[in-house]
Structure 1
Amino acid sequence: MRDLESELFNYTTGRFLANDALRLRERRRVFNIPGLFRIIAKALPCKTEEIVNFRKLGEGGLNRIFLITLDTGFQLVARIPYPILIPKAYALASEVATMHFLRSKGLPIPKVYAYSFTSKNEAETEYILMEYAEGVDLSQIWFDLKEDEIISLMDQLAKFESSMMSISFPAGGSIYYARDLKELCGNEGIPLEEDSECIPRDEQIESRSLEMERFCIGPDVSVPLWYGRREQLDVFRGPYEDAKSVLVTGAKKELAYLDQFGSPRAPYQCFRREYYKYEKQPPSDHANNLRRYLCLAPSLVPDDDSLNTFCIRHPDVTDSNIKISIESSCLHIVGMLDWQHTAVLPLFLHAGMPDIIQNEEDEVSRRMTKPKLPDDFDKLSEEEQEWEMELLRRRLVHYHYNLSTAAYNRIHHKSLVYPLNTFRRRIFNHAIVGWDGETIKLLYALMDMVFDWASFAKVGTPCPVVLTEDEKAAAVRLYEALVNAEVGERMLMDSVGYGEETWVPAAHYEKAKAFGREIKQMTLKACAEDEETTEETYAVIDANWPLDDMDEEELEEYK
């Protein structure tokens, strides 16, 4: 009999200061453990009684990871997705094929032993059984790296990305096994080149019992194309034939969503509602800006055809997804994990520095000046020295990633320095993302493009979109005012100690929850003492506090 309250089925790493019950429910996954053991035994193969240990190894944003140990000492990993993973079947099927495809190219990717993108199996859940990656997470040593270690790791990362981004593809989208894609949507996609289609027998995934698999390009599994009720839409999501197709697909998807499900809604982020006078915003405003974007999108395609070639890149380069071995005091990248939602896109849309590496807000990093400690470092206080050391580390990572990319991944470096390429990616991301009650980011990007049209269009080509000076002035006022909202939210996050979706470590939940309530009461008291605060204003502030639960029916409106 299953213990349905077992920590194996529930999210125990963290809690959420707002809508905690809902967030935990979204991450709860009950499955059949004896059934999973039988699947493991068949995949390896071994006997179920040879499995001597089964424990939760970790929990991520969308998956729970389990470590399985046999009596021989052999270990493997079982990864089971939460109910909130989308598009679940496509994402899981694509990830398995992507890992195998890249592994066949010689990249350090864990081997997959078995998988299922449906819950119709003995384990009663979707799963991936894969090789246990030896080594330590880079996150365990990331903040203690010395400069020579940073140089070595950035060189290795640039070479890894070069090998990956140099692989050519006939179309854009995501990678699948052809027969999986046919099971999912009725067609086998666009086949990849012959020399990559046959799986070596020692790499064969046992649960599929085939002598060969064929890789293909199918629908793009990027989250914005499927999020919430968008998964119900019968819209095009790839394969893409060219860069323009990629640029317009997400905006067309969102227009279809607004047409079918759009309704007035307040901005999702409570801190920003004040600057909209706490009023619900019409979807028509965002739809109008999406149509403007579609008029401009063809001009976002770079003139340099080499930047429009389809390539692949890891979707989330973070220190927790990189496995490191430490041999004779030398660091080596031995594994790259978590290939969920990987997409094949034009090079210019894949270009960019990973979030954990880029330090663009810092002037020294922007100038690409060789980082060093200040001349008066020895005279600083201990706290100031710690700050300068961390600042130096961030600058060194940014600096050496750029140098390593220029030396070992020239195709990526070319797109990094291509004129206005950061803007091209930014406006594309604003157009593809799901509508959350605001359109200001897309509108502001549209203004940048319209008022700097000569940088994107051929000489003499008129801009197809017209924005008035009054419209520009109003957008600038709102955009600049929202900076206050971002500052206020950041201050609250830092004070209480929460992250995305109000996440806090489980051990800190009660303390953070109490402190959040205390700050709310202090804020409301200050409002009550302000003679200009009306009862209505007080009530609105109280009702829109960002650390209070939002009505679950209201939350559904944002999906």
Structure 2
Amino acid sequence: MERVPGKELEHTWYTMTLEERKDVVEKIVNIEKILFAIRFPASGSLYFKESLSDNITTVDMSPDVSCGETDKFCIGPSTELLWWYQRRDELTVNRGPWETSEDLLTAVGQRELIWLQRFGERRFPREPLYREFYGRQKVDPQVQIDNLLDYLKAAPHIVPEREELNRPTIRHPDLSPNNVFISESGDITGVIDWQHSTILPIFLQAKILKHFQNYGDDDSENFRPPKLPENFDSLTESEKEREEELYRRRQLHYFYLGFTSRNNKPHFNAMGTYDLFVKNRLYDTVGRPWEGDNTSLKAELVHTSIYWSDVATSVMKQAGFPAKFSETEVTKCVDIDAKQKNVDAQMQRLRDFIGVNIEGWVPTESYEEAREKERYIKHQMLEAAETEDERRELDENWPFQDHEELD
């Protein structure tokens, strides 16, 4: 192992010019272009053959002159963290390799179902601000079990019928700015943290990188060129900071999508239709560990049922969605889901201001500044509370309080 030369992109992005930022984003897209061009025989993770014992199921790589000595490699079980998170390593489940998209879609749902049946207990939602949506009561894992059973009914019928969309494709699991290193001249010198890389059907890999996307913003979703507001110079300093952050987010989204459309056609084409977006979002949600949220998966199932004629295979289009929801169920679910998404957006703005990620991590050198900002926000919110009950509730459910770290 050796140290990667250069600096983390995260530390240099804010001081870059517009042209320098565009150049780096294009280089990241070009790295993905190389990855997307590699042909794999199955989904899972990539291993040296010699590193796996004989009792582990593998699929050999096909000979490919462009990839060098492929006979040294094979596809084995997924190393994605979610397959091993919170005692999932103890489950007897199909971790791959998967030779069909249906096998993969089913395996993810079964993993979460088996985990809940074995370890699920009534609990409060992990996100404190969700708790009022469930009457401040512990939620029942059986609700999520029922959601997973509904998902498993639908999963075999959302596999794309176009074979090119099922092509196994590798992607870096977290191509965030702190995993990309660049030189003083702006060249990418290295990308770290590949250990959880997975190979998935391209229709499940096709999305804007998590740290580059700006979904929920009208300008970004309609691919409008980013720009600062005309009255920017007359804004207060805090308003300028907010607008500059929004401008940066829009830039990332715009540049990434633009360069992908030009340089990585297979990726861009797989992102191009709404039915694939629906399938992708359903897959992401079903694989998310249950932490007291009984709404998000059901909301995605409801959404999928609405677009079933576009999402389903030809045979199932006329048959209808395989699970039934009452009008009352749908109304309640959609309402809570909207409230949770609003909380998520508020929390993201707070995290951006404080400078922490979703797990609460902050660079060591920024810790004291982050704590000071967190205390300031909490003080302001406590001051704004109108009653003692509101203040007590805010204090008890403060989202940035210390909590046990889970593996």
TM-score by length of 1: 0.64
d(CA) in 1 for partners of 2:342 and 2:31? 40
SS in 2 for 1:398: helix
Contact 1:427 1:445 in 2 (8 A): yes
Residue 140 of structure 2 is aligned with which of 282, 288, 292?
282
Distance 1:467 1:397, change over 3 A: same
Q: Does 1:299 align with 2:157?
A: yes
Correspondence for 1:180: 51
Task: Kindly state the Cα deviation for residue 436 of structure 1 after the two structures are TM-superposed.
Answer: 0.8
Q: Does 1:473 align with 2:328?
A: no
Q: Does 1:190 align with 2:45?
A: no
One-letter code aligned to 2:218: E
SS in 2 for 1:502: coil
Contact 2:38 2:67 in 1 (8 A): no
One-letter code aligned to 1:230: R
Correspondence for 1:363: 218
d(CA) in 2 for partners of 1:256 and 1:364? 41
d(CA) in 1 for partners of 2:238 and 2:221? 25
Q: Does 1:415 align with 2:270?
A: yes
d(CA) in 2 for partners of 1:146 and 1:496? 24
1:243-254 maps to which residues of 2 (within 5 A)?
243-254=101-112
Query: Would you say how many aligned residue pairs link Structure 1 and Structure 2?
Result: 404
1:129-528 maps to which residues of 2 (within 5 A)?
130-182=1-53, 186-187=55-56, 189-194=58-63, 214-327=72-185, 331-375=186-230, 388-457=243-312, 458=314, 459-483=317-341, 485-486=343-344, 489=347, 493=351, 498-506=356-364
d(CA) in 2 for partners of 1:307 and 1:289? 26
Task: Kindly state the Cα deviation for residue 517 of structure 1 after the two structures are TM-superposed.
Answer: 7.2
d(CA) in 1 for partners of 2:94 and 2:214? 36
Contact 2:351 2:358 in 1 (8 A): no
Task: Kindly state the Cα deviation for residue 219 of structure 1 after the two structures are TM-superposed.
Answer: 0.5
Q: Deviations over 1:176-230 (max 9, x none)?
A: 12221117xx236111124589988xxxxxxxxxxx9821111011112211111
Task: Kindly state the Cα deviation for residue 391 of structure 1 after the two structures are TM-superposed.
Answer: 4.0
Contact 1:197 1:213 in 2 (8 A): no
Contact 1:267 1:437 in 2 (8 A): yes
One-letter code aligned to 2:3: Y
Task: Kindly state the Cα deviation for residue 401 of structure 1 after the two structures are TM-superposed.
Answer: 1.9
Contact 1:177 1:214 in 2 (8 A): yes
SS in 2 for 1:217: strand
* Cα root mean square deviation, aligned: 3.4
Task: Kindly state the Cα deviation for residue 238 of structure 1 after the two structures are TM-superposed.
Answer: 0.4
Distance 1:523 1:391, change over 3 A: closer
d(CA) in 2 for partners of 1:198 and 1:395? 35
Contact 1:266 1:273 in 2 (8 A): yes
SS in 2 for 1:420: helix
SS in 1 for 2:21: helix
d(CA) in 1 for partners of 2:231 and 2:352? 29
d(CA) in 2 for partners of 1:519 and 1:376? 27
d(CA) in 2 for partners of 1:369 and 1:144? 24
Distance 1:325 1:466, change over 3 A: same
One-letter code aligned to 2:208: M
Contact 1:198 1:213 in 2 (8 A): no
The farther-off stretch of 151-160 and 267-276 is 151-160
Distance 1:176 1:470, change over 3 A: same
Distance 1:528 1:178, change over 3 A: same
d(CA) in 2 for partners of 1:357 and 1:198? 28
Distance 1:307 1:469, change over 3 A: same
Distance 1:225 1:319, change over 3 A: same
Task: Kindly state the Cα deviation for residue 519 of structure 1 after the two structures are TM-superposed.
Answer: 7.2
Contact 2:57 2:97 in 1 (8 A): no
Contact 1:197 1:215 in 2 (8 A): no
d(CA) in 2 for partners of 1:404 and 1:517? 41
1:536-547 maps to which residues of 2 (within 5 A)?
543-547=396-400
Distance 1:286 1:500, change over 3 A: same
The farther-off stretch of 413-422 and 287-296 is 413-422
d(CA) in 1 for partners of 2:253 and 2:383? 44
Distance 1:307 1:483, change over 3 A: closer
State percent identity of aligned pairs. Answer: 33
d(CA) in 1 for partners of 2:350 and 2:9? 29
Structure 1 or 2, whichever has the larger Rg, is 1
Contact 1:178 1:188 in 2 (8 A): no
Task: Kindly state the Cα deviation for residue 396 of structure 1 after the two structures are TM-superposed.
Answer: 3.1
d(CA) in 2 for partners of 1:339 and 1:418? 29
Contact 1:278 1:540 in 2 (8 A): no
Q: Deviations over 1:218-256 (max 9, x none)?
A: 101111221111111111110001111111111101111
**Unaligned residue ranges in structure 2 (runs of 5+):** none
Task: Kindly state the Cα deviation for residue 542 of structure 1 after the two structures are TM-superposed.
Answer: 5.8
**Unaligned residue ranges in structure 1 (runs of 5+):** 1-129, 201-211
SS in 1 for 2:24: helix
Contact 1:430 1:442 in 2 (8 A): yes
SS in 2 for 1:258: helix
Task: Kindly state the Cα deviation for residue 480 of structure 1 after the two structures are TM-superposed.
Answer: 3.1
Contact 1:179 1:188 in 2 (8 A): no
TM-score by length of 2: 0.86
